[in-house]
């Protein structure tokens, strides 16, 4: 399957551009909103100070909201290993899902297919270590639950797109 991405740029990002080598992490989120249109509107609303690099719709369509070399505002107060404020060193991917507060659902097969293609592309392009494919809840555990327990980490690991620890 080929990667097809449309653009709907958000004004919410930091300047100047960063270098490829600064990108060390990918952070996966769910939107936590009932509709795709509401989520995109929020991610592109200047007054909200929130954005992500990519948005994956329920039908699998990928929308680029912030070019990779700009810092999107998706991680908030965050920490992983020796890194703080992961916005600076990560790419954020929002996946449409109503989340825990709005009848949390399984992610669609089309969303997951698109995510796998996008991850494969980004991992290769930025030489990202699989241990650095993270959920928002990993980097901000006191504040965030996403992408949540229905997110198929083991499936991604089986496709060599993340790691999975068996207990």
| pLDDT digits 0-9 by tens, 56-88 | 999 999 999 999 999 999 999 999 999 999 999
Which residue, chain included where needed, has tokens 């996403």?
146
Return the HEC string of 58-72. CCCCEEECCCCCCEE
Which domain CATH number covers 63?
A: 3.40.80.10
Catalytic residues: 94
**Domain contains 159:** no
- CA 117 to each of CA 80, 135, 160: distance values in angstroms, whole numbers, following the listed order: 25, 17, 12
Burial of residue 132 (CB within 10 Å: 0-12, 13-18, 19+) is buried
DSSP states of 142-161: TT--TT-TTS-HHHHHHTTS
Residue 76 belongs to domain spanning: 26-145
**Domain contains 153:** no
**Domain contains 156:** no
**Domain contains 12:** no
**Domain contains 18:** no
pTM: predicted TM-score of the whole model, two decimal places = 0.97
**Domain contains 114:** yes
**Domain contains 158:** no
Whether the per-residue pLDDT at 3 is higher than 90: the answer is: no
Burial of residue 70 (CB within 10 Å: 0-12, 13-18, 19+) is middle
**Domain contains 96:** yes
So what's the pLDDT on residue 29? Answer: 99
Number of domains present in the structure of the chain? 1
Cis peptide before 147 (omega within 30 of 0): yes
């Amino acid at each position: 399957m080929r990667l097809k991405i449309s653009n709907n740029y958000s004004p919410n990002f930091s300047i100047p551009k960063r270098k490829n080598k600064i990108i060390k992490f990918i952070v996966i989120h769910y939107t936590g909103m009932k509709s795709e249109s509401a989520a995109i509107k929020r991610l592109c609303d200047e007054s909200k100070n929130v954005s992500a690099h990519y948005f994956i719709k329920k039908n699998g369509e990928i929308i680029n909201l912030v070019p990779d070399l700009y810092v999107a505002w998706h991680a908030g107060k965050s920490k992983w290993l020796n890194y703080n404020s992961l916005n600076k060193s990560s790419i954020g991917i929002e996946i449409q899902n109503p989340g825990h507060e709005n009848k949390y659902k399984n992610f669609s097969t089309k969303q997951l297919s698109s995510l796998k293609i996008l991850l494969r592309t980004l991992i290769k392009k930025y030489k990202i270590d699989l241990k650095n494919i993270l959920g928002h809840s990993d980097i901000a555990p006191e504040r965030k639950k996403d992408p949540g327990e229905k997110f198929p980490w083991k499936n991604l690991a089986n496709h060599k797109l993340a790691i999975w620890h068996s207990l």
